[in-house]
């Protein structure tokens, strides 16, 4: 496995994907909005990999939500500064 987890054996294959889509304004002259979708996938390798995924799932929820909030805040700040 390559990337950030290249040297870390996490008991399977992990992928974190981001998708950004533009949503047109539903009402009046409001500006369009961006919809950010974050998808985490994990293909466990054996029982140890499955146990790992369920053991760290609560931590992943905190980390991934924090990551999304940081991206949102940076995007809003960049939009205000433009």
pLDDT tens digits in sequence order for the chain, 82 residues long: 444 544 456 788 889 999 999 888 777 788 888 899 999 999 999 998 999 889 999 999 999 999 999 999 998 898 887 5
Domain ranges, ordered by start, for the chain:
3-81
Residue of 59, 51, 39 whose CA lies nearest to 12: 51
Residue of 14, 18, 20, 46 whose CA lies nearest to 35: 20
pTM score: 0.68
Residue of 38, 68, 42 whose CA lies nearest to 56: 42
Q: What is the distance between the alpha carbons of residues 23 and 31, in angstroms, rounded to a whole number?
A: 9
pLDDT of residue 30: 80
Q: How many helices (H) and strands (E) does the chain have?
A: 1, 2
pLDDT of residue 26: 74
Tokens describing residue 76: 């809003």
């Amino acid at each position: 496995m390559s990337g950030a987890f290249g040297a870390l054996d996490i008991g399977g294959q992990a992928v974190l994907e981001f998708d950004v889509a533009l949503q047109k304004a539903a009402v009046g002259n409001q500006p369009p909005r961006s919809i950010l979708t974050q998808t985490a996938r994990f293909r466990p390798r054996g029982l140890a990999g499955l146990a790992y995924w369920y053991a760290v799932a609560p931590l992943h929820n905190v980390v991934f939500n924090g990551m999304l909030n940081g991206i949102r805040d940076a995007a809003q700040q960049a939009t205000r500064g433009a």
